[in-house]
Structure 1
Amino acid sequence: MTTAAATASHAWFEDLQALLIGGLFVAVSVLLLREAGLLTGGTAGLAFLGHYLSGQPFGAVFFALNLPCYLFAWRAMGPVFTVKTFAAVSLLSVYSEWLPRFIRLDGLDPAFAAVLAGLLAGTGLLILVRHRASLGGIGVLALYLQDKRGWRAGQLQMAADGLILCGALLALDGRRVLLSVLGAAAMNLVIAVNHRPGRYTAI
């Protein structure tokens, strides 16, 4: 695929469906992790830690944590990316609190939940990235470095996730932390394999 084809603009309705569907996939991932008592990496991982330690809703914590990132995103990635990222973050914050009204899970195996959540999150993030959006926070920096320096976004995200998941020991037992690492690895594998420099770019 040529660079011109990879960076071709999408119509507004294509971007809208990407925000709605990509955000929904990630929200289902959040639901699975929360029901299994797990977490993930990135800003969502920090939001899970805040949720578990404080008892505040995940959606509210996630939205608040992303507020500082928009100034950097505006300067580094441009206004279009920033506006779409704000929309994606807002949708995920709302979705994550609404979904339990529509989906109830009984007998969920934590290991299966971790892997499926990782795969869904990775797929949702790919949809967002290919329409010039992200879920803010660490993802913005990872995408910026990939597009400007050629570094793999998935590998950068995985390194940051490792640090965040180490902090998960403050809220979870060792087994759940290991399962959370498994889920984060599944998510980053999807991103690393499917989002490479020269195929699709975020800016």
Structure 2
Amino acid sequence: MNRPLSIAAGCLLISLGLIVLKHSQVVTGGTAGLTLTLSYIFDIPFALLFFVINIPFYFIAVIQMGWNFMLSTMISVILVTIMTAADRWLPGFEVNIFIGTILGSVLCGVGLTTLFVNRASLGGVNILALFLQKRYKMNPGTVNFVFDTSIVMLGFYSVGVLQGVLSIASVFIVSTIIGLYKKKILAGTQLAANTPRGTAAG
């Protein structure tokens, strides 16, 4: 599968995972998890909030990882924004909280890993994790877990204690999946950093 299709597939998996988590009343980490939490608190559409929150991180992506990575990240955010917006046209449904936590987290974990391997991300903590791995060889799964757990703590306020505990479990599942592929992710970030700034990678 070529890179554009892989990125699109990763975005689809993440979007499905986020929809499942949302209908399970469970949040996760990263900008996606922060957006889910804020959407619960302020009753703002996820898709709109997700796009706006990621705007500042595009500039960080350019500085730390180059234009190619930034453009791939921007495209990924737009795709997830569009795909998750489709949830408003789906019939109302609920997902068992335990099944939803596992299924949604696995989908997000595999989707994020697919993006990372293909030199893209969903911004926010993802960019920091990839930068720390490239510069200091830190496990991106561990970095995601530490920062995402902090974000999920806010979820206790917005979704309740049980959902908050399961949200931490969601972060653990996503981070573990990402950590399993840290070598492939590192190869992707090194390629992104070494790609000429004005060149589009295929």
- In the superposition, the TM-score normalised over structure 2's length comes to 0.88
Residue of structure 2 equivalent to 1:75: 63
Kindly indicate whether residue 141 of structure 2 is the aligned counterpart of residue 154 of structure 1: yes
SS at match of 2:183: coil
SS at match of 1:37: coil
The structure with the largest helix share of the pair is: 2
Corresponding letter in the other structure for 1:132: R
Q: Flag the 1:198–1:71 CA change in 2: closer, same or farther, 3 A.
A: closer
State the 1:15 CA deviation: 2.0
Corresponding letter in the other structure for 1:134: S
Residue of structure 2 equivalent to 1:123: 110
Corresponding letter in the other structure for 1:21: A
Residue deviations 1:129-187, cap 9 Å, x none?
11110000110010011011100000000000111111112211100101111111111
User: Do the aligned residues in 1 keep the contact of 2:116 with 2:185 (CA within 8 Å)?
Assistant: no
Residue deviations 1:27-73, cap 9 Å, x none?
00110011111110111111012100111111111111100001111
Q: Flag the 1:99–1:195 CA change in 2: closer, same or farther, 3 A.
A: farther
Q: How far apart, in 1, do the equivalents of 2:164 and 2:185 lie?
A: 34
Kindly indicate whether residue 8 of structure 2 is the aligned counterpart of residue 20 of structure 1: yes
Identity of aligned residues (%): 25
Q: How far apart, in 1, do the equivalents of 2:185 and 2:89 lie?
A: 41
Corresponding letter in the other structure for 1:50: L
User: Do the aligned residues in 2 keep the contact of 1:146 with 1:197 (CA within 8 Å)?
Assistant: no
User: Do the aligned residues in 2 keep the contact of 1:150 with 1:197 (CA within 8 Å)?
Assistant: no
Kindly indicate whether residue 136 of structure 2 is the aligned counterpart of residue 139 of structure 1: no
Q: How far apart, in 1, do the equivalents of 2:6 and 2:87 lie?
A: 18
Gap runs ≥5 in structure 1: 1-12
When structure 1 is superposed on structure 2, of 83-92 and 14-23 the one drifting more is 14-23
Q: How far apart, in 2, do the equivalents of 1:120 and 1:109 lie?
A: 16
SS at match of 1:134: coil
Query: Which of 38, 41, 45 does residue 29 from structure 2 map onto?
Result: 41
Q: How far apart, in 2, do the equivalents of 1:196 and 1:56 lie?
A: 38
Q: Flag the 1:111–1:194 CA change in 2: closer, same or farther, 3 A.
A: same
- In the superposition, the TM-score normalised over structure 1's length comes to 0.88
Query: Which of 139, 161, 165 does residue 174 from structure 1 map onto?
Result: 161
State the 1:100 CA deviation: 5.0
State the 1:201 CA deviation: 3.0
Gap runs ≥5 in structure 2: 193-202
Residue of structure 1 equivalent to 2:196: none
Q: What pairs with 1:30-109 in structure 2 (closer than 5 Å)?
A: 30-99=18-87, 101=89, 104=91, 106=93, 108-109=95-96
Q: Flag the 1:70–1:198 CA change in 2: closer, same or farther, 3 A.
A: closer
Residue deviations 1:111-133, cap 9 Å, x none?
11111111111111111111110
User: Do the aligned residues in 2 keep the contact of 1:155 with 1:192 (CA within 8 Å)?
Assistant: yes
Corresponding letter in the other structure for 2:155: A
Q: CA RMSD in A?
A: 1.7
User: Do the aligned residues in 1 keep the contact of 2:133 with 2:186 (CA within 8 Å)?
Assistant: no
Count of matched residue pairs: 190
